[in-house]
Structure 1
Amino acid sequence: MKTSFGAATAALMLAAIPVSAQTPGSSSEAVAYGADAGEYTPAGFTLRGRAEVVQGRNRLRADAINGFVSDGDLRRVEASGNVYFVTPDQTMRGDRAVYTLASNEVVVTGDVILTQGQNVLTGGRLVYNTRTEAARMEGPANGRIRGVFYPQNSGN
């Protein structure tokens, strides 16, 4: 695959985006980015095509990801199209996601599927806290949430 000078420059600029440990609620771990194409401005960045943002053991993947920077810190990340937010214990899938670092919340909307092991929960809107790992699912318009939960083997 041929890489143009512009694409290589954009990749280097994305790598230079400062992510401060002082951002409220954020981890001090480095943030890695990847995509087929991207742009950077002082206000943020745009990633398109197999877009991915990784911090520690959490990964956000989507068709497109926009990051919003303020005062040199990454504040909010918006993802759209085939969105996956993956933690060590859970996988969230939806049409769109907004991750607000200050509140540690990821809001996933549109045909949402949350899995943890064999357990599955579906709905229209999921609010997940990356710090507490608490999740709240809401049903789609005029619909209900649905789930399948498997009890853990208690060894009895």
Structure 2
Amino acid sequence: MRLIPSSVLLMLSAVAATGVSAQRAHNSNAPIDFGADHIELQDKANRAVLSGGVSVKQADMTLNSARMTVAYTGEVVGGNPQVSRLDASGGVTVRRPDQTAKSQYAIYDLNRRVITMLGAVTLTQGGNTVNGGRLTMNLDTGRAVIDGSSVRGSGGATASGGTVTQTGGRVTGTFSVPKRN
């Protein structure tokens, strides 16, 4: 594992900042609205499978993909099942204010309030772009970490709909430079 200089981590934090402030947290307690061409409920397995133009919105964040598995706890509060995890695959895009992340797969762990994106990840904010194999976004802190590979060491990481087996790589990107006189 390569160590990343603190100056690069500070720039990545700036890229990962949501809105105006890096400390701005996402409201992960907000209801989750969804839309899809098809939904299959698998009540005995406590999950639903959405497919075809899947769109999920929570507060100011939108997640789009071709397919998504929604896991719920089995607990019902106010007539609604309690969602614990979303596994998305196929052209995944996560949009937050002033920030867009794209990948092949994504896992949103609602209990931990963390989104992990895998495979050909691109994170953009303003004129800044960072590319890598895996992106981990902490929705409480606004901190994002990008790794050059989608897994540590050898092997693969499984996500809904496939396996990502990239084992090497670098984080690359472009940072905008302020105009100077």
Contact 2:148 2:171 in 1 (8 A): yes
- Over the matched positions of the two proteins, sequence identity in percent amounts to 32
Q: SS at the partner of 2:168?
A: coil
Matched residues in 2 for 1:28 and 1:82: separation?
A: 25
Matched residues in 1 for 2:69 and 2:27: separation?
A: 17
Runs of 4+ in 1 over 6 A off after TM superposition: none
- Between 1 and 2, higher relative CO (CA 8 Å, sep ≥ 6) is seen in 2
Aligned residue for 1:32?
A: 33
Aligned residue for 1:127?
A: 136
Aligned residue for 1:117?
A: 126
Show structure 2 runs of 5+ residues with no match: 1-25, 77-81, 150-166
Q: Which of 90, 94, 104 is equivalent to 1:85?
A: 94
Q: Which of 102, 111, 116 is equivalent to 2:111?
A: 102
Aligned residue for 1:22?
A: none
Matched residues in 1 for 2:144 and 2:35: separation?
A: 27
Q: How many residues align?
A: 131
Contact 2:28 2:110 in 1 (8 A): no
Show structure 1 runs of 5+ residues with no match: 1-24
What is the identity, as a one-letter code, of the residue corresponding to 1:107? T
Matched residues in 1 for 2:121 and 2:33: separation?
A: 25
TM-score, normalised to structure 2, is 0.67
94-103 vs 38-47, which deviates more? 38-47
Q: Which of 63, 80, 103 is equivalent to 2:66?
A: 63
1:104 to partner: Cα distance? 1.0
What is the identity, as a one-letter code, of the residue corresponding to 2:69? N
1:89 to partner: Cα distance? 2.4
